[in-house]
Amino acid sequence: MTAEVAESLFWIVLAAACAPLIAAAVPRRLVPEVVLLLIAGIIIGPFGLDIASITPEIDMLQELGLGLLFLLAGYELDQRELVGPGGRRAFLTWLCCLGLAFAVTFGLAQVITIRAEVATAIAVTSTALGTLLPILTERGLLETRMGQTILNHGAIGELCPVVAMAILLGARGAAGSLLVLALFALAAIVVAIVPRRIGRPESRAMATIRRGTDTTAQTQVRLTILLLVGLIALAAAFELDIIIAAFAAGFILRRLMPGGDENLETKLGGLAFGLLVPVFFVTSGMNIDVEAVVGRPGLLILAVVVLLLVRGVPVFVATRFERNDDGERAFDRRERGQIALYATTGLPLIVAVTTVAVDAGPMTPGNASVLVTAGVLTVLFLPLSALLLGRGEIERPVPRDEMIRRRTPPAS
C-alpha cells in the first residue's frame, strides 16, 4: 500500500467513524448518517480540502461497497410483493415517470443547452434504494406497510433506469443490448438453480456449510461474497452495470433463504455498514465538483424541481390507489407525501448515468455535476422532509414472523 492510498484511506475511514457519532448527537436524529458521509466526502475530497483522493485501490472498495449495498437491498425486498399488485403499480408508475421525464427534458432542451436528453431523462426517474435502505432501517420503517411500498418503488426506480441505461445508452444499440441483458438474466437463473439442486438440507455440502458458519471458515459469508463477486464479474464481461449484478445476488440469496437468516444478516450488515458502504458514500461525496455548481444555482434549483415533478408527483398520485385488505385506502395524504419524498431521493443511479453520458460525450462535466449535486440535495433534504411531514411518527413494524410468512413461497 502506497503512502497516498494509506493517507486517503485514513481520512475516509475517519469520516466513516465520525459520521454516526455526529448523527447521534443531532436531536431526534434528523440528519441521516448518509448525509454526513456525503458532506465529509465533499470536505476531504479534491474539490474541498484535497486531503484524500480516489485511487484504484479505493475505487475497488467503493465498487464492493456499492455491490453489498444493493445486494442487501435486493435481499430485503419482498419478492412476492414485487411481482404482485404493489410491484406492478410501481412499474407502471415508473413508466409514467419516464414518459414525463422525456417530455420535460426535451422541452427544456428547446430553452437551455442539455445535449443529453435521454441520459438526463433516465437519471431523473431513479430512486436511491441503496441510499434509503440504511435510512429506513434507522427509522424503523423497513418492515412496515409504508416501508414495503417505498421498497417497491425504490426497487423499480433502481432496476428500470439501469435497464433503460443499458438499452438506450449502450454502445451495442438497443437490439444488441437487449440480447446481452437476456443472456445475463439466463446466466443468473442458472446460478440461482444450481445451489438449490446441490444444496439440499440433508446433503453433505449443506452439513459442511452449517458446521463452518460460526467458525473461522465463515462459510455462509464467503459463499455470499462469492455469489456477489461472481455475478459482478459476469456483468463486467457483458459490460453491464454492477447494480444489476448486485440486485441479482440479493434476489438469489433471498430465494435460497426465503425465511431469512438473522445470523448471516448480522454478519453481512457488519461487513457492509462497518466499512464498505461508508466508503462508497464518502467517495461519492468526493466526486462532487462544488465549484461547477456554485456558479449556476438556478440550474441546480431547476434540476431539483424536475426531480420532484418527474418522480415525486407520479408516486404521490399512484399511492392513492393503494388499498388495505379491507378495501380502505392504505395511506392518507400525509403518508403519500412521505412515500413520494422518499421515492424522489436519488444519487447512485444519477452518478452512474451521468458518468456514462460524460464518457460517451453528449453530457458536459458541468451539467453532470449539477445533476449529481441535485441528487445529493435530495438525500440531504427529502428524507428529513418526509420525517417532519410524518411528525416524527414511525409506523408499528410488522412482526418478523409475519414478514417471514409473507416472503416464504407457498408449498407446491
Residue count (the chain): 412
Instruction: Note the pLDDT of residue 97.
Output: 96
Which carries the bigger pLDDT value, residue 241 or residue 199? 241
Helix (H, G, I), strand (E, B) or coil at 291: helix
3-class SS letters over 303-335: HHHHHHHHHHHHHHHHHHHCECCCCCECCCHHH
Categorize the per-residue pLDDT at 196 as very low, low, confident or very high, splitting at 50, 70 and 90.
low
Question: Cα-Cα-Cα-Cα dihedral of 148, 154, 158, 161, to 10°?
Answer: 120
Instruction: Note the pLDDT of residue 198.
Output: 61
* pLDDT tens, residue by residue, 271-308: 998 999 899 889 888 877 788 788 888 889 999 999 99
Neighbours of 237 (CB within 10 A): 11
Instruction: Note the pLDDT of residue 404.
Output: 44
* pLDDT tens, residue by residue, 223-262: 889 999 999 998 888 877 787 888 888 888 888 887 778 8
3-class SS letters over 121-139: HHHCCCCCHHHHHHHHHHC
Cα 280 from Cα 270, distance rounded (Å): 15
Neighbours of 1 (CB within 10 A): 8
Instruction: Note the pLDDT of residue 195.
Output: 67
DSSP character at residue 27: G
Answer yes or no: is pLDDT of 170 > 50. Answer: yes
Which carries the bigger pLDDT value, residue 200 or residue 181? 181
Mean pLDDT of the 386-403 span: 59
Instruction: Note the pLDDT of residue 18.
Output: 94
Contact 347, 66 (CB under 8 A): no
Answer yes or no: is pLDDT of 84 > 70. Answer: yes
Share of the chain above pLDDT 90, in %: 27
Give me the domains of the chain, ranges plus CATH numbers.
3-170+271-407 (1.20.1530.20)
